[in-house]
Amino acid sequence: MSPSPTAGWLAAQASQSIATEKLAVPPRESRWVSLGFREQTTRAWVDYPVGKKHAPVMLVLHEVFGLTNSTRNTTDEIATMGYVEGI
């Protein structure tokens, strides 16, 4: 028997609330940046590891619903590993 849509929704909301709580006091520097290529510009959310001037970069693509706290929490966790993280 597969889980009901309600059970999936409740699990998603629970994971979001945990992510939201963790992001309330972020241990890393995070900010929006503008990226340009030819005549086009887009924005990206970037998490920087603490104390590193240069670090490897990892990109995370968010889901169709936009940038959620759950996705931001994932990038924050990757930044703790020493990567510069962009969404």
With bands split at pLDDT 50, 70 and 90, how would you rate the model's confidence at 40? very high
Residue 82: C-alpha distances to residues 8, 28, 44, 51 (Å): 32, 11, 19, 9
Query: Taking the model in full, what pTM does it have?
Result: 0.55
DSSP designation for 24: T
Decide if pLDDT at 1 tops 60: no
d(CA 60, CA 35): 15
